[in-house]
Structure 1
Amino acid sequence: MSPGNPSDGALCLVTGATGYIGGRLVPELLAAGYRVRCLARDPGRLRDQPWSARVEAVRGDVTKPQTLPDAFRDVEVAYYLVHAIGTGPGFEETDRTAARAFAAAGHTAGVRRIVYLGGLTPQGVRESELSPHLRSRAEVGRILLAGPVPAAQLRAAVIIGSGSASFEMLRYLTERLPVMVTPTWVNTRIQPIAVRDVLRYLVGAARLPGTVNRSFDIGGPDVLTYRQMMTRYAAVAGLPRRVIVPVPVLTPRLSSHWVGLVTPVPSGIARPLVESLRHEVVCCEHDIRDHVPDPPGGLVGFQDAVRLALRRVRDADVATRWSSAAVPGAPSDPLPTDPDWSGGSLYQDRRSVAVDAEAGALWQVIEGIGGESGWYSLPLGWELRGWLDRLVGGVGLRRGRRDPRRLRVGDSLDFWRVEEIEPGRLLRLRAEMRLPGRAWLELTVTDAAEGRCVYRQRALFRPHGLAGHAYWWTIAPFHALVFGTMARNIAHRARQLMASADAHSAGLGLPDDPTAPPTGRGAR
């Protein structure tokens, strides 16, 4: 094996595998033929990753040098993807100490290359004038480049992809505020880059010649102001044109509090990101293409990157927010380990009821819902909702259901459609009524003790723009009445079926089909 040019099958160490970039880099390295070892303070946090069974996980902490030797054993390429952003005062010293320990441990173990993803720093600005976040990222890059192991620092500005803190901040600001009084940094020029291009460069950096020890600027094909990014995001997301009014009185510190009020991005992360927007961050060179050529179709543009990031929402696939077993189809898709605040707003109403009936009886009620059986709560309210939907051009409740007892994927069910069904366990419905967003209703059965089961119900709503948020909070006061009553009545009906079946089997002269659903939309 030649130094600095590891062959397929070489072992790569990835730090930050529980984070946004690290969690997406691991499957890309595996696909490229590398073996992967992940360093984590808590390896258990990697269990939910779809690739966890294909990697080696070791416990360690880059701020504790004594934990690093085992992680570096037999490693050819080490990825440094950690930083102390959001950890509070003293994070710069933490970053500095960790970088030195990492470089030293890599040298002792004979690592051929270190790859670091840093921040793009503005030109012509003294380091003392940079935000603490950018200043620390730049210092970490210098420490690694000055170390004894050849290093490559890839410097990026805003990364576009679901789960990226910078992208999530952009998403929430644009979707929640049709009219914005903004800080002047909305006019700052930025060169964003799609996450799939970042990952392509990171994987390619593993094969850099051993003589390469330098920084590379990486960015997409578009240079935009933050205002233009918000405007183009709104266009891709199908939102009305945003009205953006910059005002000079909002300092970066004040505007970080404003961002904290509008978005769920934690203030410890939002504040350094906002402070970094004071300066333009545009690439000064594109030398990386000499080693990692641009793809045949070119780098992903901003609007295409946004489309990729929103793809799962448009396809109505929210499974990654429901189950940690979901596997993303592309680097821009959500991962089950992404923070709760990533992926856009997803409101939920959850209900759970213990049922004194067998799971089969409960499933019979669930699969027979809708149509003539109704929705087990406020029949007049459901009729009114269906009438209002028809009034605005929707389908209303007139479609009923194909079969009174059996459902299959794709069936229409009043103003819902069956999106997923696992007989005896799960029914997921997607709303087709006119809404300022996308809505789902999920009904599940879980076995408990003998003769008992648990009914779980989740109503989910992904709002579209401010109207979607207003819609959810307007109807939220009625959820306990509608969804709470629905859960209780479904459980009660299952108990009735169980009792009727037991009585019938005992020969008490009940009708031949005691499990037949009630008739009439108002029957409960």
Structure 2
Amino acid sequence: MADSDTKTSGSAEPQRHNPILVFGASGYIGRHLVPALRAEGYKVRAAARRLAPLEAEGWDSVELVQADAHDPDTLPKALNGVSTAYFLVHSMADGSDFPERERRAAATFAQAAEQAGVERIVYLGGLAPKDTASMHLASRVATGEELRRGQVPVSELRAPVIVGPGSIAFEVMRDLAAYLPIMVTPKWVRAESPPIALDDLLGDLVALPQRTPADNTIYETGGPEQLSYEQMLRTIARELGRPAPIIIPVPFVSPELSSYWLAFVSATPTDVARALIGGLKHDLSADDGPLRQRIPRDPMPFDAAVRRAFEKEKAFVAHTRWREGAFNLRGERQDIGYYAKKMSRAATTPVDVETLWRALSDVGTREAGYFFLSGLWEVRKGLDRLLGGRPAGHRRPGRAPEPGERFDMWEVLAAERPKRLTLKIRAVVPGRGGLEFEIDETQDGHSRLTATMYWHPAGAPGLLYWYKLGPPHAVLLQGMVARICQRAEASRAAHPRGSRPGLRPRPAR
């Protein structure tokens, strides 16, 4: 399908001296599209509501901008000097009113793009049947329509299930195939669609502004095979080295009902997965003939796309801070959930960030322990030994944490004085996780310490572990940040500014 109206501004091929804007760059597609554009030699500006996820990507020569489609005042900076803008914003994680939020975001962005002189918007939508009852699929269509109401031409690309690490549909199927040998499923497992490899989709997105005119045309893309979700599950299980699952479709389990038990079998964000599953009951097909006339390619078969996804994620690692889905933070295991469960607790103190950092740097020493209820951590360390683990000893006091340092059940992933300390767990547990501390200076000159616990579960046992131990971990986390702040305040009182010796680096080996 290639629907178009008369609005056009010529070819509007992106100028390589102008930045291309990827709006929504912290999302699944954005995180992959930015490096794909850079590989083609384009200047790229990446925008998201929060800078932290963008900074965690570690991109070279990419301009990072904080911008929110629901805050018009943040958009001019993101759009300034841009000729082509990719609009990749989704709001499925924001609750049941996400269709209205997505519509408003699209309207605001289209107006701001017009005012900034943008020549083309590229929008990634989804394949959808006419008159769909799925909120997710209907919202994808409505968002494209809202963008086209503006004066900037919109090139819309509608895609099916994307086969790649981090794709919600793919990750749900990975979790099911990895840990459920027998599945009682709704009839939607027999619905068919043409799943597309992530690399193929990125190729289409990068080429679209180069190979197509800037008019309001809707293109469709897809893979070479029309497959049911049951067939996809069996293929993913095979590529994971698992036996083919026994799948029993039953007529009385609706997609909506099945979405509620996802929280017990999959680590994917529940709100997003629930919105997505509502559209899985439809048979979908892609008429990609018009697109292939302009962007020819040999599409990747599904089994090859799955193998490519598993290979691609091995290079997706974290070095300087926690990074969603990083392979090394998941124990380099493809059967551990891509998306992390997480909880955060914070406390504020009047001390400066350096004093707070020094207090935090005592973590894991024999004297400081874990600052709050440290005896429980010692019990956990003993249990780890009984389970076959090999916890290390305490940290030496007065030493600055350094990457690669191991203590108790932890390893230091990164330490950026005086801003951030990132630890990953090395215990015998049904999954992988970590703990990240961040220190920020507040507007009134105080310091805020935030501790975030991450957990990538290994199937249902890992999820049960999280749900059962989540409440006590929340208490430990809150007590920990409060005690670290108290320790910093006591240190400042005992050692006025400049009188306390700094932390010593670990001696070279």
Q: TM-score, normalised by structure 2?
A: 0.65
Structure 1 468/241 Cα, relative in aligned 2: closer, same or farther at 3 Å?
Answer: farther
State the one-letter code of the partner of 2:250. Answer: V
Question: Which residue is 2:333 aligned to?
Answer: none
What per-residue deviation string (whole Å, max 9, x for no partner) do you get for residues 50-97 of structure 1? Answer: 699859999999xxxxxxxxx9999977867689999989979x98xx
Q: Given the alignment of the two structures, is residue 6 of structure 1 paired with residue 13 of structure 2, yes or no?
A: yes
Mapped to 1, the partners of 2:144 and 2:490 lie a distance apart of 68
Mapped to 2, the partners of 1:379 and 1:416 lie a distance apart of 14
State the one-letter code of the partner of 1:473. Answer: Y
Structure 1 284/17 Cα, relative in aligned 2: closer, same or farther at 3 Å?
Answer: same
Structure 1 239/456 Cα, relative in aligned 2: closer, same or farther at 3 Å?
Answer: farther
Structure 1 401/247 Cα, relative in aligned 2: closer, same or farther at 3 Å?
Answer: same
SS in 1 for 2:280: helix
State the one-letter code of the partner of 1:474. Answer: K
CA-atom RMSD in angstroms: 6.0
State the one-letter code of the partner of 1:392. Answer: L
SS in 1 for 2:189: helix
What per-residue deviation string (whole Å, max 9, x for no partner) do you get for residues 351-409 of structure 1? Answer: 42536688437515624633565334445433332222122221124x44477634321
Which of 276, 301, 324 matches 2:305? Answer: 301
Structure-to-structure mapping, 1:111-190, within 5 angstroms: 117-120=124-127, 127=130, 154-161=157-164, 164-167=167-170, 169-170=172-173, 180-190=183-193
Question: Which residue is 1:389 aligned to?
Answer: 384
Mapped to 2, the partners of 1:77 and 1:492 lie a distance apart of 50
Mapped to 2, the partners of 1:246 and 1:188 lie a distance apart of 11
Question: Which residue is 2:3 aligned to?
Answer: none
SS in 1 for 2:279: helix
Which of 192, 210, 222 matches 1:219? Answer: 222
Q: What is the aligned length? A: 466
Mapped to 2, the partners of 1:240 and 1:308 lie a distance apart of 23
SS in 2 for 1:347: strand
Question: Which residue is 2:468 aligned to?
Answer: 474
Structure 1 258/57 Cα, relative in aligned 2: closer, same or farther at 3 Å?
Answer: closer
Q: Given the alignment of the two structures, is residue 464 of structure 1 paired with residue 458 of structure 2, yes or no?
A: yes
What per-residue deviation string (whole Å, max 9, x for no partner) do you get for residues 240-280 of structure 1? Answer: 9765432111234544566589777576x656643433343
What per-residue deviation string (whole Å, max 9, x for no partner) do you get for residues 304-332 of structure 1? Answer: 225545864x76986245xxxxxx999xx
Q: Given the alignment of the two structures, is residue 249 of structure 1 paired with residue 252 of structure 2, yes or no?
A: yes
Question: Quick check: 1:192–1:302 contact (8 Å CA) kept in 2?
Answer: no
State the one-letter code of the partner of 1:304. Answer: R
Q: Given the alignment of the two structures, is residue 421 of structure 1 paired with residue 421 of structure 2, yes or no?
A: no
Mapped to 2, the partners of 1:377 and 1:415 lie a distance apart of 17
SS in 1 for 2:283: coil
Structure 1 482/210 Cα, relative in aligned 2: closer, same or farther at 3 Å?
Answer: closer
Which of 405, 415, 418 matches 1:411? Answer: 405
Q: Given the alignment of the two structures, is residue 276 of structure 1 paired with residue 283 of structure 2, yes or no?
A: no
Question: Quick check: 1:463–1:469 contact (8 Å CA) kept in 2?
Answer: yes
Structure-to-structure mapping, 1:469-508, within 5 angstroms: 469-479=463-473, 482-501=476-495
Structure-to-structure mapping, 1:21-420, within 5 angstroms: 21=29, 25=33, 28-29=36-37, 32=40, 45=49, 54=63, 117-120=124-127, 127=130, 154-161=157-164, 164-167=167-170, 169-170=172-173, 180-208=183-211, 217-220=220-223, 224-233=227-236, 244-255=247-258, 273-283=276-286, 288-289=291-292, 291-294=294-297, 301-305=305-309, 308=312, 312=316, 319-320=322-323, 344-352=339-347, 354=349, 359-360=354-355, 363=358, 366-367=361-362, 369-371=364-366, 374-397=369-392, 399-401=393-395, 405-420=399-414
Which of 436, 449, 454 matches 1:442? Answer: 436
Question: Quick check: 2:190–2:230 contact (8 Å CA) kept in 1?
Answer: yes
Structure 1 228/309 Cα, relative in aligned 2: closer, same or farther at 3 Å?
Answer: farther
470-479 vs 492-501, which moves further: 492-501
Question: Quick check: 2:155–2:218 contact (8 Å CA) kept in 1?
Answer: yes
Structure 1 243/388 Cα, relative in aligned 2: closer, same or farther at 3 Å?
Answer: farther
Structure 1 234/383 Cα, relative in aligned 2: closer, same or farther at 3 Å?
Answer: farther
State the one-letter code of the partner of 2:189. Answer: V
SS in 2 for 1:277: coil
State the one-letter code of the partner of 1:431. Answer: I
State the one-letter code of the partner of 2:451. Answer: Q
Question: Quick check: 2:159–2:221 contact (8 Å CA) kept in 1?
Answer: yes
Structure 1 172/369 Cα, relative in aligned 2: closer, same or farther at 3 Å?
Answer: same
Q: Percent identity?
A: 32
Structure 1 132/481 Cα, relative in aligned 2: closer, same or farther at 3 Å?
Answer: closer
State the one-letter code of the partner of 2:309. Answer: A
Mapped to 2, the partners of 1:208 and 1:116 lie a distance apart of 15
What per-residue deviation string (whole Å, max 9, x for no partner) do you get for residues 474-508 of structure 1? Answer: 323433664445445444544554444469979xx
Mapped to 2, the partners of 1:450 and 1:59 lie a distance apart of 25
Mapped to 1, the partners of 2:440 and 2:65 lie a distance apart of 33
**1:444 Cα offset (Å):** 4.5
Structure 1 495/241 Cα, relative in aligned 2: closer, same or farther at 3 Å?
Answer: farther
Question: Which residue is 2:73 aligned to?
Answer: none
Structure 1 285/448 Cα, relative in aligned 2: closer, same or farther at 3 Å?
Answer: closer
Q: TM-score, normalised by structure 1?
A: 0.63
Note the residue ranges of structure 1 that are not aligned, 5 or more in a row.
Answer: 62-70, 322-327, 334-341, 507-512, 517-524
Question: Quick check: 2:200–2:300 contact (8 Å CA) kept in 1?
Answer: no
Note the residue ranges of structure 2 that are not aligned, 5 or more in a row.
Answer: 1-8, 71-77, 330-336, 505-509
